[in-house]
Amino acid sequence: MKVALDTLAALLKSKTNARRAVDRGYVQVLLTIYVDWHRHDSRHRYMLIRKGVLQCIKSITNIKLGRKAFLDANGMKILYNTSQECLAVRTLDPLVNTSSLIMRKCFPKNRLPLPTIKSAFHFQLPVIPASGPVAQLYSLPPDVDDVVDESDDNDDAETETEIETEIDDDKDQHFKNDDIETDINKLKPRQELGRPMEELKMYEQFFPELSENFQELDLVSKEPKPFIPDANLSGPIVVPTASEEHTAEANPSTKEVALKECSPSLTEEYNRRPVSLELPKQDNMKNSSLHQQNDQRNMLPSYQCLSQEIVKGLDRISLQNSAKNDQYYGTGCVVKKESKDNLTTLACSKSCDHVSPCGGSLFEGSSVQLGKLCCTGVDSEEEGDSRSSSSGEHVMLQVSDVSPVHDCDLYLEMVKSTKSIPDYSEVAYPDYFGHIPPPFKEPILERPYGVQRTKICQDIERLIYQNDIIDRVVYDLDNLSCSVPEEADVLKFNSKFESGNLRKVIQIRKNEYDLILNSDINSNHYHQWFYFEVSGMKTGISYRFNIINCEKSNSQFNYGMQPLMYSVQEALRSRPCWTRVGTDICYYKNHFSRSSIAAGGQKGKSYYTITFTVTFQHKDDVCYFAYHYPYTYSTLKMHLKKLESMHNPQQIYFRQDVLCETLAGNSCPLVTITAMPESNYYEHICQFRNRPYIFLSARVHPGETNASWVMKGTLEYLMSNSPNAQCLRESYIFKIIPMLNPDGVINGNHRCSLSGEDLNRQWQNPNPDLHPTIYHAKGLLQYLASIKRLPLVYCDYHGHSRKKNVFMYGCSVKETMWHTSVNAASCNLTEDPGYRALPKILSQTAPAFCMGSCSFVVEKSKESTARVVVWREIGVQRSYTMESTLCGCDQGKYKGLQIGTRELEEMGAKFCVGLLRLKRLSSPLEYNLPSSLLDIENELIESSCKVTSPTTYVLDEDEPRFLEEVDYSAESNDDQDVELADNTGDYEATNQDDGLSDSDSTRTLLS
């Protein structure tokens, strides 16, 4: 009988046979037979026969008529009930898995409950592109329904496409990826200015260090002399590190010194610089058409918020306060705040001992210690790194509980000048209060057995038991008249603040909510970044949140990553931390249909769901959830202002310019950091001007907030007073664009700028009207090339959503050709292997960095990215993208831990240490790099046999194939038989495809 059923299942894979089976009523018959066997096989001896019946049903439901017949025969309820009865017996999992696949395949595709998939916010572009997705978006008639296709009801085409994709996936294991560039002429770097020299001269104003003579400054001496650190320099710039071994308690002497140094207030300690040492303004910058000179007026004194009190009922800070509502007590501040119930105040006082007698405060006698500066710790080099200690590169990094660059008052000032499309008038608590890393480790979450299957079953229950679904809209950006629920047991949501993203919330069950994210402005997709506020919760209740319109086919949420939550009540108890939260987390394909308009012309695609469950600690708390640690544009402005006010101008050359204005009118900062010349003696000025350049950029993709935290670590290390930082400044001139996409960051985009385009795909031909930050960033590099001052290193900081650890992408002709096997003679190419030195150094010094994840292959789909264009057109050999994980590490010191801001900032500091070592290794005295850094032949030959494409084109993103194991068959409609096994686990090995198409072609068992 088993053989007969298997034969029938194989025959029914034919569309013609499947239609005949439907016409003859086989679907109803097969369901009846399956139920009969299910009832009578109480001892589970005939599981193979039961599975054979399910395979026949599965084959018939590959066609649209079969799925309709299955639904008409009440097949959803029948298979749901039988599979629920099988859950208690682990050996019956194959039956449950196959039943779930059939139900998911037959689940009717639903329309996403939105009026349009275009962003809820509109920005009119100054120029409409002639072609591309943005042009198509603007050409759509206003009455077109872009949410679903006209016939988007589980067409046969979807299943056919998935089956074809599975075949392609099998073939893919036998040939190299087509995306790898094989044209040797295109691979060879060719330095091209691209713009006439007369036009590039406009960028001369951004390089005053090349002509500055410092004669007007009262430098230490007219005669050259070695640099002697000043023991009386102002307080230390703190560079947080993730060292666990060396704490303040373990180093009482250093702690005592740090407290002694940091005891004065910031106003007294960091403003000691002589006014006469201010860098003079450049006259040729006053009339610049690119930017306006930064204000040189004195900054208001900045205060550390050492104690904060918030009364119950406070929902959020309002920026629309009149001046008369602002009250200042002594050196503290009080910001008036509007709430629905009453006017309450946020007190910010410098006095640690001040505790309000008000009994209505959210905390009792405790204060938020945001003003405590630091206790010093020593971050040692990696174990066994003998070169580090021998060369004197033992790095002294200071650990802080709260970064001194965060200033609550200054943040509010920065927000007021930030221009957003929705014209935000509120500030999120976490951005105002600041964040400190939690004092405990946050391990990568272990996924419980069967969690995805359980979530899918609960989704199926929505169809079977529709009367149990509340289906109530509780938050809607498209309907401004949407009333806030008054019931005590309904959560309240908000995302109307900088970088916020949440478009709509629907209450599904009493404690379950579907959340819909907003598209990037001038786009109809890129849903992944979220940042929103929740209030009105109760304790002891598990709330389930489902973000239902994600687009990527896989996520680290399937591999232990948790979303982040910030509790205001915890912050008021001196714990202002973003912490990883959530249980029962998984990421899977859902039954909401994506239109071909939103899927690049492909039909039958589905959205994906991130689901997680949270139990809140405090009743009526105000909590914030985020995809990753938020870092807003206003935070960057505050950070740069604080760094400028805190540095020692006799030691550090720090300059902040405005590179250009964005489409929304926000300034794009350009930072220059190097060491001041030892004197204004001629030799010292020459040494100053001839330092090689290091060019850094970050945050071209708004949703990759970890890139900004890495950049923060880099900036703070460069501005620190440590001898190594001074040596680094004396070695290089740093040109840094810390945020390439301010508009996208401000408005909560995930990928694009206001032009609706991925700015990291515009480097080949940037439009000055649509992509001003890229146009002028490239112009800076072109100018350096024109004056023969190519940067030694260019690095663009990014975040990665599908891989663990921190790693780099670089560019190599030879490695690209090795991975293709197209031109065997290419192995005889001569290429300087120095591009591998910096990643190799970082793998030895930075605990989060993984050399094994690095790739130096050049691909066709990446030819317009910063990394490839700067390498190919500008001629920078060491041109990199540095990717930081959103999840955590699976190797090294942080193996098994989720990554936090401390580790990210440490990575930024370690990058600087790597540059210092690169300088020492490549200096004239040590010109030949160590063979251990450059001996790559064997390494590459071995890896070329295994890797098809380390950075395969996925959804227009810099993402390689995903190689981890995952319980993913719930997202597959494949026809491969699931073998019976008594030891069926929740995870099984997959093929080496992460679901690059929507077929999700992995071959695992459904949990």
Tokens of 54: 């399910």
Q: Are strands 622-626 and 564-567 parallel, antiparallel or unpaired?
A: antiparallel
Asked if residue 180 lies in contact with residue 135, where contact means CB atoms within 8 angstroms, the answer is no
Tokens of 277: 């040492």
What is the distance between the alpha carbons of residues 461 and 469, in angstroms, rounded to a whole number? 9
Q: Are strands 793-800 and 693-698 parallel, antiparallel or unpaired?
A: parallel
Catalytic entry in 209, 498, 661, 883: 883
Asked if residue 452 lies in contact with residue 1007, where contact means CB atoms within 8 angstroms, the answer is yes
* 230 Cβ neighbours under 8 A, 6+ residues apart: 648, 650, 651
Asked if residue 645 lies in contact with residue 278, where contact means CB atoms within 8 angstroms, the answer is no
DSSP state of 178: T
Phi, psi of 43 (to 5 degrees): -100, 5
883 as an active site residue: the answer is yes
Nearest alpha-carbon partner for 336 in 361, 318, 354: 318
> Can you list the alpha helix ranges (DSSP code H) found in 593-681?
633-646
DSSP reduced 3-state for 254: helix
CA dihedral 906, 911, 914, 916 (to 10 degrees): -100
What is the distance between the alpha carbons of residues 423 and 746, in angstroms, rounded to a whole number? 10
Can you state the angle between helices 451-464 and 75-86, rounded to 10 degrees?
A: 150
Nearest alpha-carbon partner for 763 in 749, 781, 747: 781
Q: What angle do CA 295, 233, 901 make, to 5 degrees?
A: 70
Asked if residue 224 lies in contact with residue 384, where contact means CB atoms within 8 angstroms, the answer is no
Nearest alpha-carbon partner for 972 in 66, 104, 161: 104
Tokens of 906: 């440490």
Q: What angle do CA 729, 733, 735 make, to 5 degrees?
A: 120
Asked if residue 544 lies in contact with residue 513, where contact means CB atoms within 8 angstroms, the answer is yes
Whole-number Cα distances in Å, 444 to 558, 559, 843, 899 = 11, 8, 22, 9
> Can you list the alpha helix ranges (DSSP code H) found in 578-731?
633-646, 682-689, 706-718, 723-731
Q: Are strands 606-615 and 542-550 parallel, antiparallel or unpaired?
A: antiparallel
What is the distance between the alpha carbons of residues 982 and 118, in angstroms, rounded to a whole number? 48
Task: Return the biggest CA–CA distance within the chain.
Answer: 101
Catalytic residue numbers read: 883
